[in-house]
Copies of this chain bind each other. A is one copy, B any other.
């Protein structure tokens, strides 16, 4: 079994749910702006995790499909708003929503997808499910939305802060990236009528692979070439973003190197990316980050021990490994 096979197993049904969610948006301009990134693709890992987590606790995929669409809608909403905030002009190989439709319509498109996410989840059939389970799933998803906002706010604040501690960094990426992935696995387990123990295990699994995902993202930024990842090598450095390598280097570098690193991060200069990578290598910051990501993935897989064996469980293990294998 390969990860691409797992993702394609559910992609059609997830796409159908997304289409249903967006179909009635009016006026046409808002419909087009809201659907732009959804139509541009994306790997759909998050919604797949919802369905797999549901199946892994013995539930039916059908019961999790609306929640899966909901998680993908929230992810897309946050991308649209983040691109406005970060002035990113490309996303998924396409011009960003605000580049095509302007900022006002892009803000509205994000807000619309946010609303549609809850509408979708609220349409989950209560035939075989208790209404309380749906409320539990809703609370999970809403909680992750608050965390996404807080994480993005920290990310913005950290661009002007050069004494970020590791715990502050981990808290930021947990909120910004991992909370939604944890909400995906948790809501799937809830809607699959999992036990509290199973729900907890899958929540922790989601959180851990989510953190690993973000750290891997940090690492990919300085090793990948532009063609594969769609943005120039070292763009985080140029934008002065706080990554785990930066936090580690700032904590361990000599005061001269620390000073040099801070001045480069403030500078927005593509020409000094290699210099930063040298500093990272000098202090073992890249290896440090990779090891943390690896440890997270290992612990994440261990969490799944409480589940009975199933295809879905095997798929979750493969996805955990994929987080570190992916090259873009």
**A residues apposed to B, CB below 8 Å:** 25-27, 29-30, 81, 84-86, 103-105, 107-108, 110-112, 114-116, 118-119, 122, 126, 130-132, 134-135, 138-139, 142-143, 145-146, 148-150, 152-154, 156-157
Contacts and interface: CB of A to CB of B under 8 A. Distances in A.
Ordered nearest first, which 5 A-B pairs have the shortest CB separation? A85-B104, A131-B131, A115-B145, A30-B153, A112-B149
A156 B139 CA distance: 33
Nearest to A134: B135
Given A111-B81, A131-B131, A138-B122, A104 B146 contact: no
Central interface residue in A26, A84, A153, A156, by most chain B CB within 10 Å: A153
A110 B84 CA distance: 14
Given A122-B135, A135-B122, A146 B115 contact: yes
A139 B115 CA distance: 10
27 contacts: A29-B157, A30-B149, A30-B150, A81-B108, A81-B111, A84-B107, A85-B103, A86-B104, A107-B107, A110-B111, A111-B114, A112-B149, A112-B150, A114-B145, A115-B142, A115-B149, A116-B146, A118-B118, A119-B139, A119-B143, A122-B135, A126-B132, A130-B131, A131-B132, A131-B134, A134-B135, A135-B135
Please tell me how many copies of the chain the complex holds. Answer: 2
A111 B149 contact: yes
A142 B154 contact: no
Contacts of A135: 122, 126, 131, 134-135
Contacts of A154: 27
Contact of A85 (B29, B107, B138, B149): B107
B103 A26 contact: no
Contacts of A115: 142, 145-146, 149
A118 B103 contact: no
Contacts of A114: 111, 114, 145
A253 to B, nearest CB: 26
Nearest to A154: B27
Given A119-B143, A142-B115, A145-B115, A150 B25 contact: yes
A143 B85 CA distance: 27
A141 to B, nearest CB: 9
A47 to B, nearest CB: 19
A322 to B, nearest CB: 29
Given A118-B118, A143-B119, A150 B85 contact: no
